[in-house]
Amino acid sequence: MARTTERTAADAAATCRYTFDPARQTDAHLQTTWECPHEAHGDSDYCPFHMSRDERASNDVSPEEIVARIKENLRSGGVRANEYVGADLPHLSLTYQDIDGGSNHVLNFQYADIEGLDITHGHLEQGLNLRGATVGALDFESATIDGTLDAADLSVERHFSAYETTFREDVTLQGASFHGEVDCDETTFGDDTSFAGATFHGVAHFRNAETTGTSHVLDDNISFADVEFRDDASFRQATFKYVTFENAGFRAESDFEHVEFEGDAKFGGVVFDRMADFDEARFHDDACFEDARFKQLAEFRGVEFNGGSRTTDDDVTFEAALFEGEADFKLARFRFADFKDATFQGEFNLDRARFDARADCHRIEVGGTAIFEDVAFLDGVNFDGSRFEGDVRGVEAEFHGDADFVETTFRSRVRFTEARFLEDASFREATFQDDAIFRGSIFEGEAKHLEENACFDETTFEALADFQSSSFPHG
């Protein structure tokens, strides 16, 4: 806390001597030295808000009196009456309060040290500035905040609760540190919101949260970019417009079950240290997991990647993603999908998945079993240059468009029993190092006389090649 020299008797009616010099704090957003506008208390050089806690105690200034003075200042309508930069404050209880100061002047607690702030079931019409502040516990439960919340670089030492809270304007918590549990269940973020660069040390809950936002379609309405989640994080059944988690780190389990992504969803470069659960999530616009890393189980069972209307983009991309554990896309539904250069060190499960548009699987590497049983590719799919170390199980798989496996290597047993290749299928220069079972498969091909309906030119079969009861209607 920046302080000046003691005042003389002639200064008895002077204002508080506290000043905040931004030059002393490299991340301060103030442009000039801030001077306290409040009247000094009694014989002190400082107002009650900038007294030390010991000095307040010796002057019989109670926490209740501090709260009463803040409410009085709100009603005064003074231009600077709501400024408390750098203040050292006790627990401030504003529960069940309808706080309307009659002006738009922000309640300014920049760089303050506050034991706790509680606006539970309250209504705050002003904006709230907690930029760079340290707060013991922060409670907004069931409150409505009409103005902006600017809390960049905030530090919350205990819990942060915004359960069923409505934030009507922008929320900025960029770079914030949350040291306890964060409860944003059923929170409504009515405008653009940023947690970019924040650190969540405890459990973070955003279940049934809802964002609306007003950013342009190419921007994000809520940002968790570069966020560090050090404990479990749950977004189950949340609804997002445009959201980014780019380069975020999930150090414990993450839960995105039944989330509705109504706009673009960006997970590029994200690292999931433990299970990532996206079961039955819905991506209604484009989704990006490019360069994402899944260190354990990645669950995408029953997910729908519906994509947006922009034809130049893939509806979902996992390009160059790394799956170190099982990748489970059972019963998932895709439109345009891009898995090129992805690595699956464990099992890759597409059991009964459906691709309604083309799928690009160039140069993928699968270390475990690849399960393509009953998968349906309704447009073309390309596995050129891919490598399968484990078994490939493609029983009753359906390829409605061209299926390309050019220069693909299969090191273990391959079973495409009763698979259907309805257009051209090419295994040119592919290598089967173990049994290749195509028993009962149908290679219908396309009625183009210049192309081969089923191509195995220069294919290498190092073990059994079984085409018993297979059908080649067009040769």
Q: What is the mean pLDDT of residues 49-78?
A: 90
Distance, in Å, from the CA atom of 148 to the CA atom of 164, rounded to the nearest integer, reads 17
Mean predicted lDDT score pLDDT of the chain: 92
pLDDT band at residue 76 under the 50/70/90 scheme:
confident
- By CB neighbour count within 10 A (0-12 exposed, 13-18 middle, 19+ buried), where does 13 fall? exposed
Which has the minimum average pLDDT: 76-90, 99-113, 400-414, 453-467? 99-113
Q: Residue 53 belongs to what H/E stretch?
A: helix 53-58
The helix/strand/coil state of 16 is coil
Token code pair at residue 293: 């890393």
The helix/strand/coil state of 269 is coil
pLDDT value of residue 104: 72
**Tokens 């895709």 label which residue?**
334
Q: Can you state the percent helix, strand and coil of the chain, rounding each to 5?
A: 5, 30, 65
Distance, in Å, from the CA atom of 293 to the CA atom of 250, rounded to the nearest integer, reads 10
Amino acid letter for position 468? Q
Distance, in Å, from the CA atom of 235 to the CA atom of 110, rounded to the nearest integer, reads 30
Q: What is the mean pLDDT of residues 196-202?
A: 98
Q: What is the mean pLDDT of residues 402-427?
A: 97
**Tokens 């290679």 label which residue?**
443
The percentage of the chain sitting over the pLDDT mark of 90, rounded to a whole number, equals 82
Question: Is the four-CA dihedral 233, 237, 238, 240 of positive or negative sign?
Answer: positive
Q: What is the pLDDT of residues 307-342, one digit of tens each?
A: 876 554 679 999 999 999 999 999 999 999 999 999
Residue 214 has pLDDT above 80, yes or no: no
Residue 29 has pLDDT above 80, yes or no: no
pLDDT value of residue 26: 56
Q: pTM, whole model, 2 decimals?
A: 0.91
Token code pair at residue 302: 């029953």
The helix/strand/coil state of 23 is helix
pLDDT band at residue 453 under the 50/70/90 scheme:
confident
The helix/strand/coil state of 165 is coil
Token code pair at residue 279: 């079961």
**Tokens 């078994």 label which residue?**
391
Give the C-alpha distances (Å, rounded to integers) separating 113 from 31, 74, 136, 139, 160.
21, 20, 8, 16, 16
Asked whether 166 and 146 are in contact (CB, 8 A), the reply is no
Residue 293 has pLDDT above 70, yes or no: yes
pLDDT band at residue 231 under the 50/70/90 scheme:
very high
Distance, in Å, from the CA atom of 122 to the CA atom of 453, rounded to the nearest integer, reads 70
Give the C-alpha distances (Å, rounded to integers) separating 327 from 120, 151, 279, 359, 371.
42, 38, 12, 17, 10
Q: What is the mean pLDDT of residues 382-388?
A: 98
